[in-house]
Amino acid sequence: MISRIWRQIEGFDLDYRPRSYFWPLGLREHLMATVKGGLRREMLAAIDEGSAADSRVIEILARASLPDHLRKAMGRIHPMCMGGEYLPDLHENEVEIARITVASVTADVIAVRARRDGGKFAYRMVDEHESEYRIRPERSDAPLCMFELIRLIENAGPDGPTLPVLRMNRAGGSDWDDLRAFITVSSPFYPELESWYDRYLSLWIEVQRGHRRPQHTRRSAPGQGELFAHDDTKGA
Q: Give the model's confidence band at 201: pLDDT under 50 very low, under 70 low, under 90 confident, else very high.
A: very high
Asked whether the predicted pLDDT for residue 224 surpasses 80, the reply is: no
Whether residue 121 is contained in a domain is answered as yes
Asked whether the predicted pLDDT for residue 66 surpasses 80, the reply is: yes
Whether residue 209 is contained in a domain is answered as yes
Q: Mean pLDDT over residues 68-73, rounded?
A: 92
Whether residue 62 is contained in a domain is answered as no
Whether residue 197 is contained in a domain is answered as yes
- Reported as a single tens digit per residue, the pLDDT across 142-161 is 999 999 999 999 999 998 89
Q: Which domain holds residue 136?
A: 4-22+82-228
- Reported as a single tens digit per residue, the pLDDT across 17-39 is 999 999 877 888 999 999 999 99
Rounded Cα–Cα distance for residues 152 and 154 (Å): 6
Rounded Cα–Cα distance for residues 56 and 47 (Å): 13
If one counts the domains in the chain, the total is 1
Whether residue 153 is contained in a domain is answered as yes
- Reported as a single tens digit per residue, the pLDDT across 169-184 is 999 898 988 898 999 9
Whether residue 52 is contained in a domain is answered as no
More confident residue, 71 or 1: 71
Asked whether the predicted pLDDT for residue 124 surpasses 60, the reply is: yes
